[in-house]
Structure 1
Amino acid sequence: MAAPVAAQQDSVPYVPTPQAIVEGMLDLAEVGPADNLIDLGSGDGRIVIAAARRGASALGIDRSSPLVARARMLARGEELPGRTRFEQGDLFEARIRDASVVTLYLLPTVNVALRPKLVNELRPGTRIVSHAFDMAEWSPDGHRVVEERNLYLWIVPATVGGTWRLTMPGGRSGTLAFEQRFQRISGTLDGASIGRPTLRGTRVSFVAATPGGQRLYQGIVGDRSIEPDPAAPADAATGWQAVRSD
């Protein structure tokens, strides 16, 4: 597998991203001072530099040593001390766990080849933005067109697929089961289908029948539990918890 992956990276041509597209990508990801951005295939560093201008910490990774050297030179001229770094390296070996935003301008085949790494290594809630190319069957969570170019946003989903023990308001409990494909979910509560299931990062919501009628459940997904979302609407269920049972 190593040779084909390396060949895919080497096939990506260096095509500078127009500045309006750079800003559009950062706008779509809502990049700000709290973010740690990693640009995979960073070229001359313009996305990294633009993110740093917004107060973010940003790292660019590229296989080309001349481009890495140029990016470092351009960043020095911006006077953004401590907010930009550039490394020469393999995109598929890069340490990306700490990113809150990942940006891409690669090729469709490389996006798809990177997809397992992005899904498995990034934390739920991390935003991924790609210029021009999508992720095949992983549907984007957001999309916009800037200067006739497509920009795509994905939010890494938490893992909810499987079986949970849901303790509802009043102490009644039931079996909550989800099926998941990326951020697309469906499910049942005690065998009855739940309504309007959605998953966006770590936030999950669904409507389920209870003895008191249909109730909205909106929660935050953790490693082994789902807790009520403090930002849920006033009419959403409270005082409940789901604990993984599989």
Structure 2
Amino acid sequence: MSEPHGHTASRHCSPVGAIVLLAALLVPSATAGQTQPTVGQAGKDVPWVPTPDVLVDTMLEMADVSPDDLVVDLGSGDGRTVIAAARLGARAIGIEYDPALVALSTQRADEAGVSDLTEFITTDLFEYDLSQATVITLFLLPDLNLRLRSTLFTLEPGTRIVSNTWALDGWDDDPDAGNGWAPDETVVLDPCPTWCTSLLWVVPAKVEGTWRLSEGELSLDQTFQMVAGTLRTETGTIPIEDGRLRGTEIRFRAGDTHYTGRVDGTTMRGVAQTPSGAVDWNATLSR
């Protein structure tokens, strides 16, 4: 992963500027028979810079990559993330606009002995169908992340998305206020290998709507993985608090009852912890 495709990183340095400043600190490994890319060379959107190997490993670990996964790396550069995923037994696909980098990546995968698990495709990342991926890795600057966000949000619940450094929020988003897609987990490496931060999102199930429970009617509003709403019973209406999704897992509180469960399309079921003990609960989407 390394064709970062941005949005300011701070008030003093843009993401593109940060990439150029750090480019001189990173030296790609040599591969015989292919022209080696130069760190900082012009790419389709911004200069080419690789993700440090230690951060690649961290990203794949956060995504819990296994042989059951199909990993798609958007902007795959010299192929290092795809190759690392294949070494974990996963099938892995690299999407890269530069045909020279695709050729280099293909050779590197062959040299690593993982060519049977890897594929590198020369195309624009916005044109590739992501629907079969279970893990998506990114090193794309904020503007491109934001362009991808709506597509990523519609993927199968439970799909893991891991980004080097850059989030999935826009200028006006405030995750603390519940209107941005905040990461589910963040890891910052110390010591820092030039790029330090790995961000993980788990695509949430879609639960907005009205659900029928044995005890009443559950009306839910959803903003990315955050959930709010009300539970209406015979005795009154209770606000939903602390509502959150992680893939198909859901949790929320209604008064002094804490609900945990799993979403399966138009049904939910789980356990509710009440003051008098645990009880099973289930709900069906009515509209």
- Both structures adopt the same fold (TM-score exceeding 0.5): yes
CA distances 1:20-52 after superposition (whole Å, capped 9, x unpaired): 111111112121222111001101110000011
Task: Find runs of 4+ consecutive structure 1 residues off by over 3 angstroms.
Answer: none
CA distances 1:58-77 after superposition (whole Å, capped 9, x unpaired): 11101111111110010011
Q: Tell me what 1:141 maps to.
A: 184
Q: Tell me what 1:197 maps to.
A: 243
Residue type matched to 1:175 in 2?
Answer: E
Instruction: Return the alpha-carbon distance in structure 1 between the equivalents of residues 87 and 149 of structure 2.
Output: 28
The 3-state SS of whatever aligns with 2:283 is strand
The answer for unaligned runs of 5 or more in structure 1 is 168-172, 230-234
Change (3 A) 1:236 1:61: farther
Q: Percent sequence identity over matched residues? A: 44
Instruction: Return the alpha-carbon distance in structure 1 between the equivalents of residues 245 and 45 of structure 2.
Output: 35
8 Å CA contact retained: 1:37, 1:58: yes
The 3-state SS of whatever aligns with 2:279 is coil
TM-score, structure 1 as length reference: 0.85
TM-score, structure 2 as length reference: 0.74
The 3-state SS of whatever aligns with 1:140 is coil
Instruction: Return the alpha-carbon distance in structure 2 between the equivalents of residues 81 and 113 of structure 1.
Output: 31
Instruction: Return the alpha-carbon distance in structure 2 between the equivalents of residues 182 and 195 of structure 1.
Output: 15
Equivalent positions of 1:30-109 (< 5 A) are: 30-109=64-143
The answer for unaligned runs of 5 or more in structure 2 is 6-42, 170-179, 272-276
CA distances 1:155-186 after superposition (whole Å, capped 9, x unpaired): 1111111111112xxxxx31101111100111
Instruction: Return the alpha-carbon distance in structure 1 between the equivalents of residues 119 and 243 of structure 2.
Output: 40
Instruction: Return the alpha-carbon distance in structure 2 between the equivalents of residues 226 and 13 of structure 1.
Output: 46
Instruction: Return the alpha-carbon distance in structure 2 between the equivalents of residues 131 and 68 of structure 1.
Output: 20
8 Å CA contact retained: 1:218, 1:236: no
Residue type matched to 1:151 in 2?
Answer: S
Q: How many residues align?
A: 223
